[in-house]
């Protein structure tokens, strides 16, 4: 079945430390992968996406993600976390054979000063 998983409900990181938010997807044709961020009572903001080509994708606000086909993962990373990065993060996948995008359940990222 086509699916995406975010195995951690919450990630806690100290400001200035590197952060990783995990995402894995099921193998079902060619996946197109997306990361979004949501601040409280707001809509989702697009961060980055992987379509094809270079496995390392750079996006907004210093975030990047690496597409790893062998591990079916697309983890979101940032070298140095900011308190303002605290938010809810969604990974999403869309397959070349599918008509809709599938969202993960979200990971709440908390950056402590």
Partner 1 sequence: DGGITQSPKYLFRKEGQNVTLSCEQNLNHDAMYWYRQDPGQGLRLIYYSQIVNDFQKGDIAEGYSVSREKKESFPLTVTSAQKNPTAFYLCASSPTGGVRETQYFGPGTRLLVL
| Contacts to partner 1 by CB under 8 A | 9, 32, 34, 36, 41-46, 49, 51, 90, 94-96, 98-101, 103-106
Q: Report in angstroms how near the CB of residue 94 gets to partner 1 at its nearest.
A: 5
87: Cβ contacts below 8 Å, ≥ 6 apart = 37, 38, 39, 40, 108, 109
Q: In degrees rounded to 5, what are phi and psi of residue 60?
A: -75, 155
Residue 70 or residue 99: which is nearer to partner 1 going by CB? 99
Residue 27 or residue 113: which is nearer to partner 1 going by CB? 27
Residue 16 or residue 42: which is nearer to partner 1 going by CB? 42
Q: Report in angstroms how near the CB of residue 45 gets to partner 1 at its nearest.
A: 7
């Amino acid at each position: 079945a086509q699916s995406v998983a975010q195995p951690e409900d919450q990630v806690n990181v100290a400001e200035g430390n590197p952060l990783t938010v995990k995402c894995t997807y099921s193998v079902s044709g060619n996946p197109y992968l997306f990361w979004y961020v949501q601040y409280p009572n707001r809509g989702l903001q697009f961060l980055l996406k992987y379509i094809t080509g270079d496995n390392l994708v750079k996006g907004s606000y210093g975030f990047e993600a690496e597409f790893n086909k062998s591990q079916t993962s697309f983890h979101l990373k940032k070298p140095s976390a900011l308190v303002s990065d605290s938010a809810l993060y969604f990974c999403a996948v869309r397959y070349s054979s599918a008509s809709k995008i599938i969202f993960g359940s979200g990971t709440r990222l908390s950056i402590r000063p």
